[in-house]
Amino acid sequence: MGALCSVIRFENLQELKRLCHWGPIIALGVIAICSTMAMIDAVMWYWPLDTTGGSVNFIMLINWTVMILYNYFNAMFIGPGYVPLGWKPEKSQDCMYVQYCKVCQSYKAPRSHHCRKCNRCVMKMDHHCPWINNCCGYQNHASFTLFLLLAPLGCIHASFIFVMTMYTQLYNRISFGWSSVKIDMSAAKRDPLPIIPFGLSAFAASLFALGLALGTTIAVGMLFIIQMKVILRNKTSIESWIEDKAKDRIQYYKTGEIFIFPYDMGSKWKNFKQVFTWSGIPEGDGLEWPVREGCHQYTLTIEQLKQKADKRVRSVRYRAIEDYSGACCPVTKGVKTFFTTPCTEEPRIALCKGDLLLATRGLKHWMYGDKVLDSTTDAGMRVRGWFPRKCVEKCLYDSEMDQPLDGEKKNR
C-alpha cells in the first residue's frame, strides 16, 4: 500500500512539473493579466452592485475565466492517452500491418504516433502543443479545442471592457483648446469619483491588456479554426500530412492507386461526435476505430508502411564537410542559414566532419534526415533531425550499393 501511494505521489509530482515550462508560464500569464485587468476595469466602468447589467457583466467575466482554466488544465493534466506498453494486435498476423516502436517495446496502434517529447506512443496524436506542455490526442482533443474556442470569446469580452473603460474614464478628462488638446489624468472631473483611481499607470496597463487580448483572439482563433477543420473531417494534423504524402507517392510512382482516408465517416456531424460527447468521454478505446465502407482498421497503417519504405528508397546520402554544434540558429553558418532556421521543435543534429547522413526532406538552407550510426556500437539508437545544408555534401555513390544515387527527393 505504501509503495502504491509513493507511485501515485511521484506521478502527481511529474504532472505538476508540466507547469514548469515556458509554454504554460506564458499562457497562464496572459490569462492572469487579461482576467485581472478586465475585472478591475469592469468595476470602474460598470459597477456590478448597482445594476443588473453590471452584475451579469461581472459574472460572465468570471465565468469565462473559470471555463478557460478548466479546459486548459483538463487538456494539460488528463493528457492524450497512451498506447499500453507491450500492446499488440489481437490477431498475431495483423502485426505485419503496424509499425513496432523500439522505445515503448510495443506495436503502434492505428492512429497512434510516438512523441519524442512525451517519450510514449500517443493515441490519435494530433500534435505536441508547447502551450499545454503535452500532446493533443484521443482523450484531451475535446478539452483542447474548447479551450481554443473559449479563450478568444473571453478575450473579446475583455477587450470590450478595456475599450469602454478607457473611453468613459477619458471622456470627461479631455479639454479642447484653440491650438491644443489636454488630458488631465490627475482626477476624474465627474461626480461621484471612481472607486478605483484611474491614473496614467492604469491607462497604460489597460492598453497593454487590450493588446494581449486582441493578439490572443487572433492567434488562438486561427488555431481553433484549424482544429475544427480536422475534427469535421475526422483527421488529425498528422493524418492530413500522411494523406498528402500518399497522393505524392502515388503520383511519383504512377501506381494508379486510389487512397481513401478510412476514418472520415462521410458526415461532419458523425465526425464531430467522434470527439465531442455529452459525457465528455470520447467514443471508443483509442485503439480501434470505426471505418468507412471499403476500408479496414489497418488501411492507414499499411499506407504508412509504404511511405516508410518509399522514404528509405528515396533518401539521399550526404557526408558532413563541416562541424555543426546542433544550435537552433547557428551564427557561424551564414546569415541565410541563421534567419531561415525551421520553425519547429524538431531536434537539430550535431555533426562532426566525416559523419554520414540519410536526408529525407529539405528546405533551401536546411535538411532533415538520419545520422548513419555504427550498427555494432549504437544498435537500436536513432539520431535524426535538422542540419544546415552548407555543412554537408552529396555522396556520388552509395558505399553499400556501389551505385549512383537517384535524384534527391522533391522538397515538399
Please name each of the domains of the chain with its CATH number. 13-80+139-233 (no CATH), 315-394 (2.30.30.40)
pLDDT digits (tens, 9 = 90+) for 146-187: 999 999 999 999 999 999 988 887 776 655 555 555 555 555
**Which residues make Cβ contacts (< 8 Å) with residue 197, sequence separation at least 6?**
187
C-alpha cell of 281? 468521454
pLDDT digits (tens, 9 = 90+) for 102-124: 889 999 999 999 998 899 999 99
Nearest to 145 by CA among 24, 283, 277: 277
Q: Return the residue matching grid coordinates 512523441.
A: 115
**Among this protein's residues, is 129 annotated catalytic?**
yes
pTM (predicted TM-score): 0.82
The catalytic position among 129, 135, 136, 391 is: 129
Phi-psi region of 270 (alpha: psi -120 to 50; beta: other; left: phi over 0): alpha
Asked if 360 contacts 311 with a C-beta cutoff of 8 angstroms, the reply is yes
Residue type at 205? Answer: A
How high is the mean pLDDT of the chain?
85
How far is the CA of 156 from the CAs of 142, 220, 285, 356, in angstroms?
22, 12, 37, 53
Alpha-carbon radius of gyration of the chain: 27
Q: Can you give the pLDDT at residue 60?
A: 95
Q: Can you give the pLDDT at residue 17?
A: 84
Whether residue 377 has pLDDT greater than 60 = no
pLDDT digits (tens, 9 = 90+) for 250-294: 988 888 888 899 999 989 999 999 999 988 888 889 999 999 988
